[in-house]
Amino acid sequence: MKSIIKNGIQIIMGAMVYALAINYFLIPNRIGEGGVTGLTALGYYTLRIPPALTNFVLNGILILVGFKFLKRETVFYSLWAVLWISIFLRVPVFLPFHTSQTIIAAITGGTLMGISMGLIFRAKGTIAGSTILAKIVNRYLGIRNGSAMLFFDLTVAIPSGFVIGFQNMLLTVLELYISAVVLNKYLDAFGAKRSVLVLSKKNQAIGEALSDNLGQGVTMLKATGFYSQQDMDALFYVCSNRDWTAVMPIIMSVDPEALVVTDQIRSVRGFRLPDL
């Protein structure tokens, strides 16, 4: 329950930042968006359809698609996000940011969008729209969320030039690129995983030290040296960026001569690796 409340509050915060970017920076300067948000902006520019209404209806349809491919938990958190985004989009706008230097609005809006989606993604939700599709692609193909989302968003943003003009279309592409970069950096900083492969004669002791200090299972693999043809154990470990700062000191304290190979992981399925 504590985790549900925490995620729910974080999604509300992300929804507030998202609506702030749309209502205060993008719409006042006729900058579009991608995915459903882009269609929402186009609906407002051409037909004056309230963004909250378009957002709720179109995203509701895409969330139904999410039921087939995503975890139920993700779908319900996404519904919570769409609800609060629609609420915040209806809040009256005071002092919108108008400027002749529209690139400032594009950069600021893109940064805020990336932060808002990072908050919502970290809370196990999405903002529906292209983020639903990005989550599906990330889950099954391992492509980073921000990169997948940028691809889907551009399919809406580029044709929007016929409505908002070529210059504003270029600013929209810039805003989408910035939001994708910020989202990837945010998720890398707070949610990415690292894999560690250790080759050492003391792998058993290293595995025990990692498990005792960090409380997570360690996998031992069988390996054979190519030249020596000697059998040995290889230790494989997956950890968060937060735990990563403790991993190397633990390994070095047991065996300073250990060979350690690390890599950043785009996608991990399951809560933890099995302790084989």
Domain's final residue, options 190, 205, 234: 190
Domain-located, residue 59:
yes
What residues pair up with 224 in beta bridges, in sequence order? 231
Q: Annotate 83-118 with b (16+ C-beta within 10 A) or e (fewer).
A: ebbbebbeeeeeeeeeeeebeebbbbbbbbbbbbbb
Q: If 0-12 CB within 10 Å is exposed, 13-18 middle and 19+ buried, where does residue 233 land?
A: middle
Query: Are 98 and 58 part of one and the same domain?
Result: yes
Q: C-alpha distances in angstroms, 2 versus 5, 9, 14, 78, 186? A: 5, 11, 18, 18, 23
Domain-located, residue 106:
yes
- Residue 70 per-residue DSSP state: S
Mean pLDDT value across the chain? 81
Record the pTM.
Answer: 0.66
Query: Whole domain around residue 18: which residue ranges?
Result: 2-190
Query: Are 95 and 170 part of one and the same domain?
Result: yes
Domain's final residue, options 190, 212, 227: 190
Domain-located, residue 273:
no
Query: Are 41 and 71 part of one and the same domain?
Result: yes
Query: Are 93 and 73 part of one and the same domain?
Result: yes
Residue range 60-109, pLDDT digits in tens:
777 777 777 777 888 888 889 888 988 898 888 888 888 888 899 999 99
Query: Are 135 and 220 part of one and the same domain?
Result: no
At 192 the pLDDT is 65
Cα gap 265→145, rounded to integer Å? 13
Q: Which two tokens stand for residue 145?
A: 């969320």
Query: Are 185 and 199 part of one and the same domain?
Result: no
Pairing of strands 259-265, 231-240: unpaired
Number of domains in the chain: 2
CA 158 to chain centre: 23
Residue range 117-160, pLDDT digits in tens:
889 988 888 777 777 777 778 777 777 777 787 887 787 778 77
Q: If 0-12 CB within 10 Å is exposed, 13-18 middle and 19+ buried, where does residue 60 land?
A: middle
Residue range 203-234, pLDDT digits in tens:
888 888 888 888 777 888 888 777 777 777 88
Domain's final residue, options 166, 190, 214: 190
Domain-located, residue 275:
no
Query: Are 184 and 201 part of one and the same domain?
Result: no
